[in-house]
Amino acid sequence: MNIHRSGTFVMPFHRMAEKANGGRVYGLDRHLAHAFLHAIGNPPLRLILWDGREISGKAASSAVGMVIHDRGAFWRLMINPLLHFGDDYSAGRIDIEGGLVQFMETVYRSMACVPKFSRKSDPAAYRRNQPSLNSLSGSRRNIHHHYDIGNDFYRLWLDEEMLYTCAYFPDPATSLEDAQIAKMDLVCRKLRLQPGQTVVEAGCGWGALARHMAKRYGVSVKAYNISHEQIAYARQRAKTDGLEQRVEYIEDDYRAIDGTYDAFVSVGMMEHVGPDHYRELGSVINRSLKEQGLGLIHTIGQNCSRPMSPWFLQRIFPGSYPPTLREMMMLLEPLEFTVLDVENLRLHYARTCEHWLERFERNLDRVQEMFDEPFIRAWRLYLSGCVANFNIGALQLFQVVFSRHSNNRIPWTRAHLTSSAGEL
Amino acid sequence: MNIHRSGTFVMPFHRMAEKANGGRVYGLDRHLAHAFLHAIGNPPLRLILWDGREISGKAASSAVGMVIHDRGAFWRLMINPLLHFGDDYSAGRIDIEGGLVQFMETVYRSMACVPKFSRKSDPAAYRRNQPSLNSLSGSRRNIHHHYDIGNDFYRLWLDEEMLYTCAYFPDPATSLEDAQIAKMDLVCRKLRLQPGQTVVEAGCGWGALARHMAKRYGVSVKAYNISHEQIAYARQRAKTDGLEQRVEYIEDDYRAIDGTYDAFVSVGMMEHVGPDHYRELGSVINRSLKEQGLGLIHTIGQNCSRPMSPWFLQRIFPGSYPPTLREMMMLLEPLEFTVLDVENLRLHYARTCEHWLERFERNLDRVQEMFDEPFIRAWRLYLSGCVANFNIGALQLFQVVFSRHSNNRIPWTRAHLTSSAGEL
């Protein structure tokens, strides 16, 4: 069995057909199942076939099982597991026993040890499996696909302020609500915001951070986003909160940012920019940051350049790509920005996604009123996959603070991160 | 006047000769001086020639002046300023008015604005101007050149514990002694050292950090260094302090490290490794770090890949090269190490070098008993240049903490950096 670097299995179809023709389908299924388990590194996983047969790998005990309801799903899994597992799970033709998160952690950990699933950085990783890259129009399509499916849906499982990015838990037991506020404070302190300053935000989601900065730190914010639904919500909230004078939400691409500011901030947008456009983002920052300004980029990242799975890119987040730190430097190095601070909040994102998944399941009744079963199963798979990928270290969360190289009014130590100096 | 990217001026010699033959040397000097000032971006700088003539650039006022004592030095300066300025300053053929640090900050800041002095990253930066690269034997030569010139000399201007790396000043007014201890505690806390753990140190200088870790954090340390003088001193100190059972100093290259450890630490060595050998250093770390181990690299760095000046490389630190963060990732990314934390201590290194320079001048009488005037002037220039380069942002100081990608026993927040949990 050959495996392409993108994870596609190339099956020896002629041999499969021969065996089937010889009437040994029963043995073939078993053979294929073992070959499949071997190819993904023999994880402690049971495969339960449509007729009740159970095939286990070499591992002694298997806490998790994959129930495959028909031979079509089984064969599709062999051909391109990274695409068809997601689709057939969504369609209910595959089920998981023992917990979806545990299943994915088990399988991903195992696959990571298989040399064939190359762990080497792939310079073309961003382009692989992408339905649509992030040009101005491509970005609009990609963002619309995910973020415009309905604010009411997101309200069911996000926190009250609708933050859809990694929270910061001072303690693992902190509530999601408090952890999102702690995250916003962490960002504001890293930027050392002072009353009267101006901030530009690239990719503002439903606008919570912009409102928080204005309300708690006394700054004026221009916040950009190309999601129509999110901007509409953000504007409404700013009006309700009486922040219209200090927060301006602009429905436009980050590439349209103009003016100069004391701080540049982007939380959870760089994942949607794509390495082809890092230099463009860099030049936007370069033209908008004042001489003594500070910048912060908060983004999902990874340790090596690897493509996201085709299922994730086609069904969940088209155009997305989490950069490595080296790739983030492609943005900062050509413009001589100085990196002041990098913090990795990987385990905080696993915890955040656990909260989201928990709330999603808790509000399942209401989700079912909005969406059909395949959507719900796809979303469950997506959120569970996020928990698993952050837990096993396949994804990271980088907060990078930077300044111009000539700026000596940078923080002397990190003492400002724990004080509430700039807060109102 | 053309300027190569390495900063060498190419002079129109035939035209100079014509002018000189025509008896217009006086006018030629003035012309060249203006051309020189223009080429370095017209800094607010006075050139004072051997006959007392003073030439100023376009800047309104000039706090600093360069006194050139003879025409030979003047012409050499035109031909290759980045080499000959240092040599002729050392030889006393050039003097500086208004302070050496101020002079260098003024000139470097100005040069940074000249497009001809390319600010673009140069992939071959490491190799340029190098007298000897960092093979096993090259490293030995390079390290011997700088570190084996006499412990008695370094004792005159370093702190009591002989740390020759960036200190950490909780407050700018902290003493150098306290700041070096604070730096060692910062490193130990970032590594979350616990009593009974094992640590390997690559490049241990005079051994202060290894002793501090053993004494204050109860760990066992193996510390490597190829400087004979430093290792001899370190061993003597460990004996005096009764630490021989817990600190082993090994006179060998980092590439000879064996065994596995709870922590890998390297403070101020990566500058001497060279990008050609980052992968080698990575594989050393990979084979020596336990599954749950933490690593820390503390190194001078820069924002863009640029060569050090030929003077610095030939006279002060052969083989040295400060990596960009992107280049540091060449070490970490292929092995899938996770970056947990990056802190930039640039201004702390400027302050450290100010202390060293101050102590050097304070102990000048005793330095003069050891070395001749050209050495003393070269060393003054080197230390002043360090202050200037850190002050203007041409050099950075990165502390990078990392783990294996699968390690979930990483610090949850940064709270451990301010607590004294592991300390004895």
pLDDT tens per residue across span B400-421? 999 999 899 999 999 999 877 6
Is A159 in the same domain as A19? no
CB neighbour list of residue A421: distance below 8 Å, 6 or more residues apart: A189, A192
Is B22 in the same domain as B141? no
Q: Is residue A128 part of a domain?
A: no
At residue B421, the pLDDT reads 67
- Domain boundary residue among A111, A126, A159? A111
User: In A, which residues are within 8 Å of B412 by CB distance?
Assistant: 169, 171-172, 347
CATH of the domain at A48: 3.30.1050
What are the angstrom distances between the C-alpha of A238 and each of A167, A212, A221, A227, A341? 22, 10, 11, 17, 31
Is B335 in the same domain as B383? yes
Cβ of residue A241 closer than 8 Å to a chain B Cβ: no
Q: Is residue A123 part of a domain?
A: no
At residue A13, the pLDDT reads 40
pLDDT tens per residue across span A129-155? 888 888 888 888 888 888 888 899 999
Number of domains into which chain A is organized: 2
Q: Is residue A76 part of a domain?
A: yes
Is B188 in the same domain as B305? yes
Q: Is residue A122 part of a domain?
A: no
Q: Is residue A120 part of a domain?
A: no
CB neighbour list of residue A264: distance below 8 Å, 6 or more residues apart: A199, A200, A202, A285, A288, A289, A293, A294, A295, A296
Calpha distance A129→A152 (Å, rounded): 30
- Domain boundary residue among A57, A76, A111? A111
Contact present, B139 and B325 (Cβ < 8 Å): no
Supply the mean pLDDT for chain A: 91
At residue A4, the pLDDT reads 33
In the annotation, is A113 catalytic? no
Q: Is residue A381 part of a domain?
A: yes
> Which residues on neighbouring strands pair with residue A299, listed in sequence order?
A398
Q: Is residue A278 part of a domain?
A: yes
CB neighbour list of residue B100: distance below 8 Å, 6 or more residues apart: B380, B381, B384
User: In A, which residues are within 8 Å of B171 by CB distance?
Assistant: 412
Calpha distance B145→B301 (Å, rounded): 21
The minimal CB distance from A412 to the residues B333, B347, B415 is found for B347
Q: How far apart, in Å, do the first and last CA atoms of chain A sit?
A: 63
Cβ of residue A14 closer than 8 Å to a chain B Cβ: no
At residue A44, the pLDDT reads 94
At residue B174, the pLDDT reads 98
Phi and psi at A319, nearest 5°, equal: 85, 0
Is A211 in the same domain as A105? no
Is A187 in the same domain as A311? yes
Give the range among A211-215, A231-235, B246-250, B308-312 with minimum mean pLDDT.
B308-312
| Residue of A122, A169, A329 best to disrupt the B interface, most CBs of B under 10 A | A329
Please give the full DSSP string across B284-327, using - where no structure is assigned: HHHHHEEEEEEEEEEEEE-SS--PPPHHIIIII-TT--PPPHHH
pLDDT tens per residue across span A310-321? 999 999 999 999
Give the confidence band of A23 by pLDDT, cuts at 50, 70, 90: very low
Three-state DSSP state, B120: coil
Three-state DSSP state, B87: helix
Candidates B255, B223, B7; CA nearest to B112 is: B7
CATH of the domain at A377: 3.40.50.150
pLDDT tens per residue across span A84-141? 999 999 999 999 999 999 999 999 999 988 877 766 777 788 888 888 888 888 888 8
At residue A118, the pLDDT reads 65
Calpha distance B192→B341 (Å, rounded): 13
Identity of the amino acid at A180 = Q
Is A31 in the same domain as A70? yes
| Separation of CA A95 from chain center | 23
Q: Is residue B126 part of a domain?
A: no
Is B97 in the same domain as B169? no
- Domain boundary residue among B62, B96, B111? B111
Is A346 in the same domain as A205? yes
Is B72 in the same domain as B155? no
Is B76 in the same domain as B215? no
Place of tokens 């979350």: B192
Is the whole model's pTM more than 0.90, yes or no? yes
Contact present, B298 and B268 (Cβ < 8 Å): yes
Contact B333 A120 (CB under 8 A): no
Calpha distance A210→A168 (Å, rounded): 17
| Nearest CA-CA distance, residue B356 and chain A, Å | 20
pLDDT tens per residue across span B292-324? 999 999 999 999 999 899 999 999 999 999 999
Is B175 in the same domain as B220? yes
Report, as ranges of residue numbers, the positions in chain B whose pLDDT lies below 70: 1-26, 60, 118-119, 421
B positions 131-170 inside 8 Å of A (CB): 169-170
Calpha distance B157→B154 (Å, rounded): 6
Domain coverage including residue A369:
136-417
